[in-house]
């Protein structure tokens, strides 16, 4: 097997030798941002959209990245090429830098940039075939006046991890997270959609947590195929009484959900609209992307 590399601050480093500094500010305080990206058939999917979001997150966090977006893009493509990462997951992480102490003014060096490639499967194949069982978790999504969900910040995900642990304790595949008003926002790592009378509905950006790139892609391909997609406030009741439900995310891609809080969604099996959306999404991944 050929040697595998990671990209650390502009340098290719053998995977076995890759380390992060003890005083990396993300390690100490969760002070950083990240993107999960996928490659399909030798092409990176939605690369520029992911990089745009990364640089917006960095700007919102006032992290001054040491390289331009074009240089970051080329580094990521180089790593995929060197590792022959035809199909799989790509992780891009940035942190404020390496220094001890909370105050950013004590930073004595540039931001850190880490890029790696890996295989990642969030759910077993049986859950894609038969659908996820979910619960509504008690862990709430922080309001936007606490943490803007458009920032894909490393520290924010402590909350999602707590929610995932709730789902694990209940022995189910996913947890539905609500905001403080009781509206559905997202699952622990995915956006959520329902289908009712042939119409797809999903929480609007103001309440949906992170506006996922897979979420946006699914909306675009579904509408292009003539399927109506609306953004609307949802409560658990709307999921209980839906005909179908599915989740989207870079790691998950598109996966059906068939039970919430012990209540079957529709027939309790993946539905036809969900199946069609999965097919449209997979076709789109084959037709688009940045070759490396």
What is the topology classification, in CATH, of domain 125-287? Answer: D-amino Acid Aminotransferase; Chain A, domain 2 (3.20.10)
Share of the chain above pLDDT 70, in %: 99
Out of 105, 156, 164, 196, the active site residue is 156
Least confident of 92-101, 122-131, 233-242: 122-131
Alpha-carbon distance 140 to 91, whole Å? 26
For residues 84 and 124, give the distance between their C-alpha atoms in angstroms, rounded to a whole number: 25
Q: What is the pLDDT of residue 208?
A: 66
Q: Is the pLDDT at 153 greater than 70, yes or no?
A: yes
Express as a percent the part of the chain with pLDDT over 90.
Answer: 91
All residues at 6 or more sequence positions from 145 whose CB lies less than 8 Å from its CB, including other chains: none
DSSP class per residue in 158-223: HHHHHHHHHHHHTT-SEEEEE-TTS-EEEESSSEEEEEETTEEEE--TTTSSS--HHHHHHHHHHH
| pLDDT tens sequence across 261-276 | 999 999 999 999 999 9
* Residue extents of the structural domains in the chain: 5-118, 125-287
pTM: 0.94
Does the pLDDT value for residue 1 go beyond 70? no
Instruction: Using the predicted structure, report yes or no on whether residue 147 has a pLDDT greater than 70.
Output: yes
Structure tokens at 86: 């035809």
Assign 3-state DSSP to the chain and report helix, strand, coil percentages, each to 5.
30, 30, 40
Query: Is it true that domain 5-118 has CATH number 3.40.50.1220?
Result: no
pLDDT at 154 over 80: yes
Would residue 105 show up in a list of annotated catalytic residues for this protein? no
């Amino acid at each position: 097997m050929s040697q595998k590399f990671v990209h650390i601050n502009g340098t290719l480093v053998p995977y076995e030798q890759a380390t992060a500094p003890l005083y990396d500010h993300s390690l100490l305080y969760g002070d950083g941002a990240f993107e999960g990206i996928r490659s399909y058939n030798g092409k990176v999917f939605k690369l520029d959209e992911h990089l745009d979001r990364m640089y917006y997150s960095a700007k919102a966090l006032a992290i001054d990245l040491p390289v331009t977006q074009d240089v970051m893009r080329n580094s990521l493509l180089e790593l995929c090429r060197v590792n022959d990462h035809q199909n799989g997951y790509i992780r891009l992480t940035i942190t404020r830098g390496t220094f001890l102490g909370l105050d950013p003014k004590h930073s004595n060096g540039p931001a850190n940039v880490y890029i790696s490639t890996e295989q990642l499967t969030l759910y077993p194949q049986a859950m894609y075939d038969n659908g996820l069982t979910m619960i509504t978790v008690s862990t709430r999504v922080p309001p936007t006046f606490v943490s803007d969900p458009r920032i894909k910040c490393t520290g924010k995900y402590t909350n999602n991890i707590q929610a995932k642990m709730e789902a694990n304790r209940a022995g189910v595949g996913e947890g539905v997270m609500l905001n403080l008003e009781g509206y559905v926002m997202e699952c622990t790592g995915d956006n959520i959609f329902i289908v009712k009378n042939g119409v797809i509905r999903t929480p609007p950006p103001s309440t949906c947590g992170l506006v996922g790139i897979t979420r946006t892609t699914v909306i675009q391909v579904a509408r292009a195929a003539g399927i109506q997609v609306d953004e609307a406030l949802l409560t658990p009741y709307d999921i209980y009484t839906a005909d179908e439900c599915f989740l989207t995310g870079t790691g998950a891609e598109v996966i059906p959900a068939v039970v919430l809080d012990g209540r079957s969604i529709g027939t309790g099996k993946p539905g036809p609209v969900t199946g069609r959306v999965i097919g449209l999404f997979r076709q789109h991944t084959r037709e688009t992307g940045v070759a490396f």
